[in-house]
Amino acid sequence: MLFDVHGRQAHAYTTGPAAHTASPPPIVFIHGAQNDHSVWSGQADRLAALGHGVLAIDLPGHGASSPPGGGPALASVDAMADWLLALLDAAGLPSALLAGHSMGSLIALEAAARAPQRVAGLALIGTAFPMRVSGKLLAAARDDEPAAIDMVAKWSHAAPSLVDASRRLMQDLSHRNPDRLLYTDFAACDAYANGLAAASAVRCPVLFIRGTHDLMTPARASEALTAAIEHGSIVDVDAGHAMMAEQPDAVFEALAAFAAGCAQR
């Protein structure tokens, strides 16, 4: 489905009952760097089958929200959080459960801090704060994106069999938007500084899903956030950073239980 957000085309994969009429909280999925809505294929339809309206979004510059209609990628987490709240308006969602992976987790966190009344629950998957990106990887993303894509595809997976599919997705996104998309995303993650202040403002239920073999955002990198959000719950899954693909059942089950708890509030 296409929405008009700030005068540009925004795409979201939608499934389940009409999100604004569903009785369980609708779920909005936010992907990470150089990804798109398809990374949620192991969870979106299954959660819709439980009665949730689901929107798996393509951020500006990504997937079907790529230029020309979707415009360029946004250069900061703050701008992406504002865009996300505008998308909720365009979709007619007064509130939703936000589930974000990696960069998407920072966007969800910032949106929840800016508009707490809009967020029924917050699932932070493969998160970290600060979400620093190594100088070597940033430089590769800026100057040699194919090499950076190879690095990220390898480091994101504990299961080698999934590396090629991840690489192909990132290469496709690079083809759709050749304007250094990976560098823009990584620079936004690296620069985001409001994580602890945002976390201290969160009052809704929070779930952290962490990969026990995650090299990109290892569990220790989430400790500042888990300490700042003392009421959050933690689920660890046997996976690397791309845990939605490596352990789709475990991630689905964690999200389903969390969403059910949010619906009972």
Please give the average per-residue pLDDT across 236-262, as a whole number.
Answer: 97
126, 105 contact by CB (below 8 A): yes
Sign of CA dihedral 111, 115, 116, 119: negative
Residue 17 is predicted with a pLDDT of 86
Q: Which of 83, 27, 65, 33 is nearest to 191 (CA)?
A: 33
pLDDT tens per residue, range 99-135: 999 999 999 999 999 999 999 999 999 999 999 999 9
Residue 21 is predicted with a pLDDT of 53
Please give the average per-residue pLDDT across 63-85, as a whole number.
Answer: 96
Domain spans, the chain: 2-131+193-263
CATH topology of domain 2-131+193-263: Rossmann fold (3.40.50)
Residue 19 is predicted with a pLDDT of 58
2-6, 20-24, 176-180: range with lowest mean pLDDT: 20-24
Residue 89 is predicted with a pLDDT of 96
Q: What percent of the chain has pLDDT over 90?
A: 95
152, 171 contact by CB (below 8 A): no
pLDDT tens per residue, range 135-162: 999 999 999 999 999 999 999 999 999 9
Residue 25 is predicted with a pLDDT of 85
**Residue 22 pLDDT > 70:** no
What is the distance between the alpha carbons of residues 156 and 135, in angstroms, rounded to a whole number? 17
Chain Cα centroid distance, residue 155:
18
Residue 20 is predicted with a pLDDT of 55
pLDDT tens per residue, range 183-232: 999 999 999 999 999 999 999 999 999 999 999 999 999 999 999 999 99
**Residue 179 pLDDT > 80:** yes
Q: At a CB cut-off of 8 Å and minimum separation 6, what does 152 contact?
A: 33, 34, 137, 166, 170, 182, 216
Report how far apart the first and last C-alpha atoms of the chain are (Å, whole number).
29
Q: Which of 163, 104, 155, 106 is nearest to 134 (CA)?
A: 155
**Residue 24 pLDDT > 90:** no
- pLDDT confidence tier of residue 264, bands split at 50, 70 and 90: confident
pTM of structure:
0.97
Q: What percent of the chain has pLDDT over 70?
A: 98
